[in-house]
Structure 1
Amino acid sequence: MGNHTTVSTFLLWGFSSFPDQQNLLFVMVFFSQVTILAANVSIMVAIKLNHNLHIPMYFFLRGLSFSETCTTMVIIPRMLVDLLSKSKTISLPECATQMFFFFGLGANNCFNMTAMSYDRYTAIHTPLHYTILMTQKICFQLMTASCVTGIVVSLCIVLIVFNLSFCDSSTIQHFFCDITPVVSLACDYTFFQKMVLLAFTAFVLVGSFIFIMISYVFIGSIVMKMPSAKGRYKAFSTCSSHLTVVCIHYGFAGFVYLRPKDSDSFNEDMLMAVTYTVLTPLLNPIVYSLRNKEMQIALKKVLGNICRFSPRW
């Protein structure tokens, strides 16, 4: 280590480059968080209360909404505090904890979307045996497997990153403890460790995305063989919301975590991170609400009940 000084706290530089715009950013992010919570909680409540939505597709959607909400709670409250605070320090254990939950939930989202694609394939490929193949027990097992796999992958990433030695610089060029900005501060970060972290990231993003695309290739081939245009439209409409969310999620995440990095890419990554930590959880419930009539009906019932029982002054 030579004359290096071991780092025990980090400085989340984040949006400090824009000191005059931090109040505006706070307002925008705050209202985005409130909207995310309201939208995702509404979806979860609507699915829970409407018995017509007690089917596998909406079981996975409720799990995705819950996971997306938790993901934002890991990042956004801390971001809001830092936007108003002069001290933007975070201890090493806090940084490790934030990274663990963020990547654990993020990986869970990916595997949850994979399970949703398998559900859609099963519904279209074997509709007569769908209730047998996608029982409540199997859905719960898929959800549990997504969660456990996400936790294991995230734990491995955190153990690798925080077994590195951090020295001299302690300024993270980001608004949360992301992998690349943190490991760039390490003084013993090797090529092997870089490849292992890339392999874990690729396993989550590329592996799940390939499975999803294979599912949709089979779905497409089945749908195109349907003789009825109405039947083809109905089959595609049940998949369109999920496919839209997949494209948004993997598009932004892939750009940040799979493209080659250099020291000048941190600002780009930070701006893209705002998109997938704030915008994506906000878009997902909107996409599922606008493109799904059953969800629209369920949400109207929930909102109607809220208005009916709300106090009138």
Structure 2
Amino acid sequence: MIAQTFQPLGTPGVPWGDAEKSQWRARQRKQRSYADEVVNRLNTMLESFKVLQYGELDYGDDGRYPLYALRGKYWDDALPVALVTGGVHGYETSGVHGALLFAQDYAGGFEGRLNLLIAPCVSPWAYERIHRWNPQALDPNRNFVANSPCGESKALWDLIQPLRGKCIVHIDLHETTDSDEAEFRPALAARDGKPYEPGTIPDGFYLVDDSANPQPAFQDAINLAVAKVTHIAMSDMDGTIIGSPVVAEGVIRYPLVELGLCAGITGARYTTTTEVYPDSPRASPAQCNLAQAVAVNAALTFALAME
């Protein structure tokens, strides 16, 4: 059993107000540098990409956070678009570094075949604090909606709207970690005034398909490629992963648009959310980064073959 590390705030059974959210934010501490670990790497890729600033977040005493995407240098409006996103949840490290690894080592294989847009760190404040939420205690990955109250989600939403109908594939890179059960799900229950119900953490890589637009062959192609890098998660004894029915090995489904999830913002035919487990004794951080990059490569390869 994973020991809970979240320190309770507020009154049990009562949703947080502004005071509790302020107390929660005051506990968060910067633990790493978005500028050093992400922005500096973007600037090493200028031969193949343009670095596009698509927004900026002003978080007062915590500073200002410019939001960047890599845009293929030889953009051709006649070609379809592929969107890669990482760091929607800032603490999910391999989402960020897997997206950067794909841009560095794999993206060149798609030049002249499609237009690449890569937003590697959607939530830089949370990246620095190794957290799931933004400073307002909002989860960006439940807020990809029009006029979103979450600045991270709104900025990416606004960037993507002119590309709706042009994207053929969108892959959103995530992790499921022990801290989900130790900290983030207990915090979510406290924030919303609900009881915390412990869950399980899948050991391995899995995908979240769109229940409104299922693409099983697409998901299978990604898992087949990733299985050469790291293990695919098995279901729990009840046939579920994180409480959702398994529809194929290492695949579950969510209604992406209905839930305001990032993978639902483009209207693309081929969409998925990846999940790796960096706390597994069978996987290293480097392996998780590579699994993410390989997943992106497989997703784009499949989508192009179907065009």
Higher helix share: 1
TM above 0.5, one fold? no
So what's the TM-score if we normalise by structure 1?
0.28
Higher strand share: 2
So what's the TM-score if we normalise by structure 2?
0.28
